[in-house]
Structure 1
Amino acid sequence: MPFDTESLWAQLLGYIEEGLVVPVVGSGLLQVPTPQSGISYYSYLAERLAESVGVSSAELTAGSELNDVACRYLAKGGQIDELYPKVFMLSRQETMGIPEPILQLASIPTFRLFVTTTFAPFMERALNEVRFGGTAGTEVLSYSLTKIQDLKGPVAENPRPTVYHLLGRVSAIPDFAVTHEDILEFVHSLQSPERDPPNLFREVEDRSLLILGCRFNDWLARFFLRGWRRMRLSAGYKQPIFVADREVARDTNLIGFLNSFSRGTKIFPLAGPVEFVAELHRRWNELHPAPIAPTEVIAKTDSSNGNRAFVFVSYASEDRPAAQKINEALCEAGVDTFFDKEGLEAGENWETKLREKIRACSLFLAVVSRNVLTSEPRFFRSEWRLALQLFEQTPAYYSARDVFLLPVAIDATPPDNARIPQDFGRVQWFRLADGYPTSEFVERVKQLHRRSQQEKAGIV
Structure 2
Amino acid sequence: MGVGPGEAAVAGDPSRHEELWERLLQYVEDGVVIPVVGQELLSVDVGGRTILLYEYLAQRLAAALRVKPPDADSHAPLNRVACAFLEGGGEPERIYSELQRVMKDVGPLAPPAPLRKLASIKPFYFFVSTTLDSLLAQALNAERFGGASSTDVITYSPGNPQDVPDDVENPARTRVYQLLGHVSSMQDYVVTEEDALEFLHNLLFSARPKRLFGHLQKRQLLILGCSFPTWIVRFLIRASRESRLLLARGKMDLVVDSGTREDLALVSFLQSYKTRTEVFDTGTAIDFVDELHRRWTARAPQAPDPAAGPTAATPAPQIYAREGVVFLSYASEDRDVVRSIRDSLEAAGMDVWFDQHDLHPGDDFARRIKFTIEACALFVPVLSKSCLKRNRRFLQLEWDYAKIEAHKALPSRHFIVPIVIDDVPLGSPDLPEEFGAVQAARLQNGRLSDETIRGMTTDYREFQKRRGGL
For Structure 1 versus Structure 2, the TM-score category normalised by the shorter chain is 0.5 to 0.7
| SS in structure 2 of the partner of residue 229 of structure 1 | coil
Aligned to 1:137: 150
Which of 243, 259, 269 is matched with 1:257 structurally? Answer: 269
Contact preservation (8 Å) 1:139, 1:163: yes
Greater shift after overlay, 70-79 or 22-31? 70-79
Corresponding residue number in structure 2 for 1:201: 213
Residues matched between the structures, number? 306
Q: Give 3-state SS (helix, strand or coil) of 1:111's partner.
A: coil
Give, in whole Å, the separation in 2 of the partners of 1:12 and 1:269.
Answer: 15
Question: Separation in 1 of the partners of 2:280 and 2:193?
Answer: 25
1:118 and 2:131 correspond = yes
Letter paired with 1:108: I
- Correspondence for 2:56: 44
Matched, 1:244 2:263: no
Give, in whole Å, the separation in 2 of the partners of 1:167 and 1:285: 31
Indicate if the aligned counterparts of 1:42 and 1:66 stay in contact, CA closer than 8 A: yes
Partners of 2:54 and 2:78 lie apart in 1 by 7
Tell me which residue corresponds to 2:45. Answer: 33
Structure 2 vs 1, CA of residues 77 and 109 (structure 1 numbering), >3 Å: closer, same or farther?
same
2:71 to 61, 73, 77: 61
For residue 71 of structure 1, what is the aligned residue in structure 2? Answer: 83
- Tell me if structure 2 keeps the 8 A contact 1:217–1:251: no
For 2:20 and 2:165, how far apart are their aligned partners in 1?
33
Structure 1 residue 36, shift from structure 2 partner: 7.1
| Residues 68 and 81, structure 2, Cα contact 8 Å, conserved in 1 | no
User: Are 1:147 and 2:177 an aligned pair?
Assistant: no
Match of 1:177, SS state, is: coil
Q: 1:228 to 1:156 in 2, by over 3 A?
A: closer
Cα pair 1:218 1:253 within 8 Å, conserved:
no
* 1:103 equivalent in alignment to 2:85: no
Measured at CA, do residues 317 and 5 of structure 1 come closer, stay the same or move farther in structure 2, by a change above 3 Å?
closer
Q: Which amino acid aligns with 1:22?
A: I
Aligned-pair CA distance for 1:43: 1.1
**One-letter amino acid of the counterpart of residue 85, structure 2:** Y
- Residue 211 of structure 1: SS of its match in structure 2? strand
How far apart are 1:25 and its partner, in Å? 0.2
What's the secondary structure of 1:163's corresponding residue? strand
Which of the pair has the greater relative contact order for Cα pairs under 8 Å at 6+ separation? 2
For the structure 1 residues 47 and 300, does the alpha-carbon distance in structure 2 shift closer, same or farther, using more than 3 Å as the test?
closer
Distance 1:199 1:288 in 2: 30
Q: Is the 8 A contact 1:212 1:245 kept in 2?
A: yes
Amino acid paired to 1:140: V
Maintained 8 Å contact 2:241/2:248: no
Q: For the aligned residues, what is the CA RMSD? A: 2.9
Distance in 1, Cα, partners of 2:99 & 2:236: 25
Change (3 A) 1:42 1:160: same
Q: Which residue of 1 aligns with 2:399?
A: none
Q: Deviations over 1:303-327 (max 9, x none)?
A: xxxxxxxxxxxx9898xxxxxxxxx
The equivalent of 1:83 in structure 2 is 95
Q: 2:196 aligns with which of 158, 168, 183?
A: 183
Alignment-mate amino acid for residue 168 of structure 1: G
Q: Residues 51 and 283 of structure 1: is their aligned pair in 2 closer, same or farther, counting only changes over 3 Å?
A: same
| Aligned residue identity for 2:234 | R
- Distance of 1:158 and 1:280 partners within structure 2: 20
1:10 shift after superposition: 0.1
- Distance in structure 2 (CA, Å) of the matches to 1:291 and 1:168: 35
Tell me how far apart the structure 1 counterparts of residues 183 and 254 of structure 2 sit (CA, whole Å).
27
With over 3 angstroms needed to count, the CA separation of the structure-2 counterparts of 1:271 and 1:190, relative to structure 1, is farther
Question: SS where residue 21 of structure 2 aligns?
Answer: helix
- Contact 1:32 1:96 survives alignment (8 Å): yes
* Alpha-carbon spacing, 1:265–1:316, altered in 2? closer, same or farther (3 Å): closer
- 2:14 is the alignment partner of 1:5: no
Q: Deviations over 1:281-309 (max 9, x none)?
A: 000001125599x9xx9x8559xxxxxxx
5 Å-filtered alignment, 1:365-380, equals 375=367
What's the % identity of the aligned pairs? 38
Matches within 5 A, 1:408-419: none
Tell me if the contact between 2:119 and 2:143 (Cα under 8 Å) persists in the aligned partners: yes
- 2:371 aligns with none
**1:348 alignment counterpart:** none
1:319-352 Cα deviation digits (max 9, x unpaired): xxxxxxxxxxxxxxxxxxxxxxxxxxxxxxxxxx
Q: Distance in 2 between matches of 1:220 and 1:199?
A: 20
Deviation at 1:115? 0.3
**Could you report, residue by residue, the CA deviation over 1:179-234 in whole angstroms, capped at 9, with x for unpaired residues?**
11111211222222x42111111112111000001112433321221122243111
The 8 Å contact of residues 120 and 169 in structure 1, kept in 2 or not, is answered as yes
Query: 1: distance between equivalents of 2:176 and 2:300?
Result: 24
Q: Which amino acid aligns with 2:210?
A: P
Q: 1:128 aligns with which of 123, 126, 141?
A: 141
Unaligned runs of 5+ in 1: 303-314, 319-373, 377-416, 419-460
- The 1:225–1:316 alpha-carbon spacing in structure 2 relative to 1, beyond 3 Å, is closer
Is the alpha carbon distance of 1:287 and 1:146 closer, same or farther for their aligned partners in structure 2, counting shifts above 3 Å?
same
Q: TM-score, normalised by structure 1?
A: 0.61
Q: Is the 8 A contact 2:213 2:239 kept in 1?
A: no
CA contact (8 A) 1:26 1:214 kept: yes
**Counterpart residue type for residue 212 of structure 1:** L
The 8 Å contact of residues 217 and 254 in structure 1, kept in 2 or not, is answered as no
Indicate how the Cα distance of structure 1 residues 265 and 168 shifts in structure 2: closer, same or farther if over 3 A, else same. same
Check conservation: 2:40, 2:285, Cα contact below 8 A. Answer: yes
Letter in 2 for 1:24: V
Describe the SS at the equivalent of 1:220.
helix
Contact 1:206 / 1:238 at 8 angstroms: preserved in 2?
no
Deviation of the 1:133 alpha carbon: 0.3
Cα deviation, residue 34, structure 1? 2.6
TM-score by length of 2: 0.60
**Deviation at 1:97?**
1.8
Alpha carbons of 1:75 and 1:156: their partners in 2 closer, same or farther (altered >3 Å)?
closer
Note the C-alpha offset of 1:158: 6.3
For residues 170 and 221 of structure 1, do their structure 2 counterparts lie closer, same or farther at Cα, with a shift above 3 Å needed? same
Specify whether residues 14 and 92 from structure 1 end up closer, same or farther in structure 2 by C-alpha distance, changes over 3 A only.
Answer: same
Q: Secondary structure at the match of 2:157?
A: coil
In 2, Cα distance between the equivalents of 1:157 and 1:98? 25
